[in-house]
Homo-oligomer: A and B are copies of this chain.
């Protein structure tokens, strides 16, 4: 047992490394002797596993210990001879900190901003099984440079899924797979031409606007109302690309009306512009018929975008888009030199997941699960009828609830105080480009991670805090 308290200002990792090294050099640990397993040593010293891993890694690289397959770590014979050979220790140590030292803030009641799902939702067993399968298949594609657009087998799987679930006839050769919708948006910006004007929804998904601006594109913020994007605001502009979420607008939940859709397509046709349709939430529609994507009817003007990150796990970085033929031609001409951006292994696993029917079964299980959770949450409001500070706004899709607060609520003060209580949530106005009176007193709560129990508890805190936050009339 090493006395970690004696390490002075050295990081624990480096102190352990030095103690073990000295033991080997001095002969206290003999050449050929087996060391404690990393897990055992971490337990014994009361330190994080990563700390021991760092210490052992350093000993390994400097030749003091060796690792034997299926057995463990052993002191190297005659390792004493290497003593003093390592010169860079203090330099590393300055930058090593121990991961387990991270502090916790206020006890958290609920995080309604997070887009996480509850961990059990992820089909871990099937995913693991498919990973093992792909590993054991030793498919040569596992090691080859991936097609910049994504592996063919995945693009075909996605095309099949789009046909079955969204009625989109996507040509697999027009699909581009990337590590997220932000990356894909960047490709669209490059295809629109340097500095071309781009439009986004207001209120809307703010990151898309930021991606545009950071890439040096001017960004027009187009108002959205209950029928969706105000198409007339596009007239007379030189916008080349409009980003919309017509099936379930973020964050208002509006469904773009048939008339607006026709107007938008008309405009795009006239102006030779493109529409990027983010179908981010279409998998979670709890009532009514599915809303057909615009891309299904007008594939020559509309780019369809979606991601597996929202439906599987935020740690899985695979999104895709379907380009119209003309844009795909342009992509091939201008951007086909790009390297692939998603590891082949991950693509193969996802392809197996879709082709095996697992993805659609997973979605239907999730839909049921969240539909029930949503009902239970709505029931909380019903149960205390008449006594609600906040009331849910009708919306049939998505893993978010919109709550309407009282007119007298000081939104800013409320947000500040509720954060201090350990509840994270956002206001509709957070997603507005310019502050809008019509979106005051509207709160947005994701319930992907928070179940009804958390919701009930949070709601009573919210009610309490709200009464302290009356605006001065």
Contact = CB atoms under 8 A, between A and B. Distances in A.
A179 B182 contact: no
B115 A164 contact: no
Interface in A101-136: 115-116, 119, 122, 124, 128, 131-132, 135
A50 to B, nearest CB: 6
Interface string A176-214: 000110110010001000110000000000110010001
A53 B137 CA distance: 15
Contact of A152 (B60, B99, B144, B356): B99
A61 B362 CA distance: 12
Nearest to A114: B145
Contact of A215 (B167, B215, B343, B354): B215
Interface string A277-312: 000000000000000000000000000000001000
A182 B336 CA distance: 13
Interface string A422-464: 0000000000000000000000000000000000000000000
A215 B441 CA distance: 40
A257 interface: no
Contact of A216 (B92, B194, B340): B194
Contacts of A146: 314-315, 317
A156 B344 contact: no
A179 B342 contact: yes
A163 interface: yes
Contacts of A54: 156, 160, 355
B116 A164 contact: no
Interface string A151-167: 01100110110011001
Most buried by B among A60, A153, A164, A357: A357
A293 B317 CA distance: 32
Interface residues of A, number: 84
Interface in A337-379: 337-346, 354-357, 360
A160 B342 CA distance: 25
A313 interface: yes
A37 to B, nearest CB: 13
Given A67-B356, A160-B96, A341-B183, A314 B170 contact: no
Interface of A: 50, 53-54, 56-58, 60-61, 67, 88, 91-92, 94-96, 99, 115-116, 119, 122, 124, 128, 131-132, 135, 138, 140-146, 152-153, 156-157, 159-160, 163-164, 167, 169-172, 179-180, 182-183, 186, 190, 194-195, 206-207, 210, 214-216, 309, 313-318, 334-335, 337-346, 354-357, 360
30 contacts: A50-B156, A53-B355, A54-B160, A57-B356, A57-B357, A61-B357, A92-B160, A95-B163, A95-B169, A95-B172, A99-B152, A131-B131, A141-B315, A142-B315, A143-B314, A144-B314, A146-B314, A179-B341, A179-B342, A182-B339, A183-B341, A194-B216, A206-B337, A216-B216, A315-B343, A315-B344, A315-B345, A316-B343, A317-B342, A343-B346
Enumerate the 3 nearest inter-chain pairs by beta-carbon distance, A residue then B residue, closest first.
A194-B216, A60-B357, A315-B344
